Amino acid sequence: MSFPLLTVTAALPAVGAVATAAVPAARRTAAKWLALLVSLATLVLAAVVLIRFDPGGARYQLTESHAWIPDFGVRYELGVDGIGAALMALTALLIPFVIGAGWHDADDLEGERANRRWRPTQGFFALILAVEAMVLVSFAATDVFLFYIFFEAMLIPMYFLIGGFGDRAHAAGEEEGAKQRSYAAVKFLLYNLAGGLVMLAAVIGLFVVSADSLGQGTFSLPELLKARASGDLAMATSTERWLFLGFFVAFAIKAPLWPLHTWLPNAMGESTAPVAVLITAVVDKVGTFAMLRFCLGLFPEASSWATPVVLSLALVSVLYGALLAVGQRDIKRLVAYASISHFGFIILGVFAMTSQGQGGATLYMVFHGISTAALMLVAGFLISRRGSRLIADYGGVQKVAPVLAGTFLIGGLATLSLPGLAPFVSEFLVLVGTFSRYPVAGIIATAGIILAALYVLVLVQRTMTGPIRRPEIEKMPDLKVREVAVVAPLVALLLFLGVFPKPLTEIVNPAVEHTLSDVQKKDPKPQHPVAEHAGSDDKPAGHGGGDHE
């Protein structure tokens, strides 16, 4: 029996969460170090997964399969393709930075309750590790029901991270801040639970359809994909479309896609910066990943049928998110609306049904995670120093904290996809892939680039440049060693992958080819106009001359 690498990779942070929660109340620092060491060990295992993945090998690798609930056709099945392996690596990469950035986020809560059993530091880091474990299983699960369980289960620790450990830098005071945190947490939970219930109905429907067609119901994704390709798994057109919608709605809420996005600005605005990174750079990626793995793979005809509507919604997300980001006064809500715009680009690439579009969408998931983490974590350091999330409360920060201002600028430039930084590669591929099949959609989406430059540069200009307008800014310290250690590797990755994305594209591209094969799509052939020789009506240019078609 081969070593269960995927199980161990996901189980390690789960065990670490329990161990961190069990650390005695007086050993807060020990709990922090334990969580950090567990996250680093998980990163090593995720790197091993990425290294062991063979781009030229089977579609799903490092597979594990064990009977779980045989009476209902449920198995414990894990396996990764190139997309899943890349996103597992992204998740494991970001968690140590989330923990390092949130090192003191729970310290101020220690005195809030007299109950000695209240251990906010231990709880905060245990919940982060629990989310990591559930996300890792979601990226590796090849049993639809197993995926569904962890897709929903991750909502519980996220609810407590938003509502119980939210941002205390609230302009309206602590009492109003507590109400806003509670509202954001409940809204996050209800939106995603509603989507999960719709998906549950579709999961059950898929099992019934597989039982009718195959004689025995199954949730195994490889078996279902094989049966679909061979024609053994037959679905009526209306049935397939309803099942597609059940899955897609849940994933569109998680992503999020307009108009199901409204929970995200509240959740990110009321969370601490590390938790906001956890939401948009880690948890939300499960939604866009699942569109590729489940929607396109299991329901190819319905995916093609829904493509015009999905592309329209994605374009609205791109422009709507960017426009609202331009008008934001709150730093974290600005990043939230920018992320809505970016998720619009990702979904646009997924449903462009081209290798460039889907490859770019996958790279966008990874690069958006890194760039958003860099920008949001530096923004969190800035907010913790000033005690305010409002853009108007800043100005001239670069005069007193040049390292903070410089890293904030790089994070912002990555967010607007500046050439030379990693997100440019993915956004370029999404636009090229979209334009090659849907030129009008590709042209409209480019407006998002202009708006991104506007909201990022205005944010940098109002917070970092110009004269110091507030006396609180004059004594603002620059980044500390711990904070530099959190941000510097992210900046280095943005630069490295911006000029050399090949290691990642080689892993992702075979998985994209499999997905395109599932939906029976090929890249459109380029159409070149054929010029004619002057004075000749029947011979195209290039015949007998030096031009080539």
Whether the predicted pLDDT of 527 surpasses 70: no
User: pLDDT (tens digit, 9 = 90+) per residue, 320-371?
Assistant: 999 999 989 999 999 999 999 999 999 999 999 999 999 999 999 999 999 9
The percentage of the chain sitting over the pLDDT mark of 70, rounded to a whole number, equals 93
Could you tell me if residue 528 is inside a domain? no
Whether the predicted pLDDT of 306 surpasses 50: yes
Could you tell me if residue 177 is inside a domain? yes
Confidence of residue 532 (pLDDT cuts 50, 70, 90): very low
Residue 335 CA to residue 269 CA, distance in Å, equals 9
Question: What pTM was estimated for this model as a whole?
Answer: 0.90
| CB-CB neighbours of 215 under 10 Å | 8
Could you tell me if residue 93 is inside a domain? yes
Assigned token pair, 16: 């670490």
Domain total for the chain?
1
107 DSSP 8-state letter: G
User: pLDDT (tens digit, 9 = 90+) per residue, 26-65?
Assistant: 888 999 999 999 999 999 999 999 999 999 899 999 999 9
DSSP assignments along 53-85, one per residue: --TTS-SSEEEEEEEEEGGGTEEEEEEE-HHHH
CA dihedral for 343, 344, 347, 352, sign (positive or negative): negative
The half-sphere exposure of 286 on its side-chain side, counting CA atoms within 13 A, is 32
Confidence of residue 475 (pLDDT cuts 50, 70, 90): confident
Residues 392, 393, 397, CA angle at the centre, nearest 5°?
105
End-to-end CA distance of the chain: 56
Could you tell me if residue 78 is inside a domain? yes
Per-residue model confidence (pLDDT) at position 537: 46
Per-residue model confidence (pLDDT) at position 76: 92
Could you tell me if residue 533 is inside a domain? no
Residue 198 CA to residue 151 CA, distance in Å, equals 13
Confidence of residue 267 (pLDDT cuts 50, 70, 90): very high
Residue 283 CA to residue 154 CA, distance in Å, equals 8
CA dihedral for 157, 118, 276, 167, sign (positive or negative): positive
Per-residue model confidence (pLDDT) at position 212: 87
What backbone phi and psi angles, to 5 degrees, belong to 78? -130, 150
User: pLDDT (tens digit, 9 = 90+) per residue, 393-419?
Assistant: 898 999 999 999 999 999 999 999 999
Find tokens 């989406």 and name the residue. Answer: 445
Host domain of residue 420: 5-518
Lowest average pLDDT, out of 21-25, 192-196, 542-546, goes to 542-546
Could you tell me if residue 536 is inside a domain? no
Per-residue model confidence (pLDDT) at position 166: 78
Residue 366 CA to residue 385 CA, distance in Å, equals 29
Assigned token pair, 317: 């997300």
- What's the per-residue H, E or C state across 241-306? HHHHHHHHHHHHHHCCCCCCCCHHHHHHHHCCHHHHHHHHHHHCHHHHHHHHHHHHHHCHHHHHHH
| Spatial contact of 107 and 32, defined as CB atoms under 8 Å apart | no
Residue 119 CA to residue 60 CA, distance in Å, equals 41
Could you tell me if residue 171 is inside a domain? yes
Could you tell me if residue 540 is inside a domain? no
Q: Kindly list the distances between the CA atom of residue 447 and the CA atoms of 282, 431, 450, 532, in Å, as whole numbers in the listed order.
A: 26, 11, 5, 35
Q: Which amino acid is at 38?
A: V
User: pLDDT (tens digit, 9 = 90+) per residue, 126-172?
Assistant: 999 999 999 999 999 999 999 999 999 999 999 999 988 877 666 55
Residue 452 CA to residue 483 CA, distance in Å, equals 26
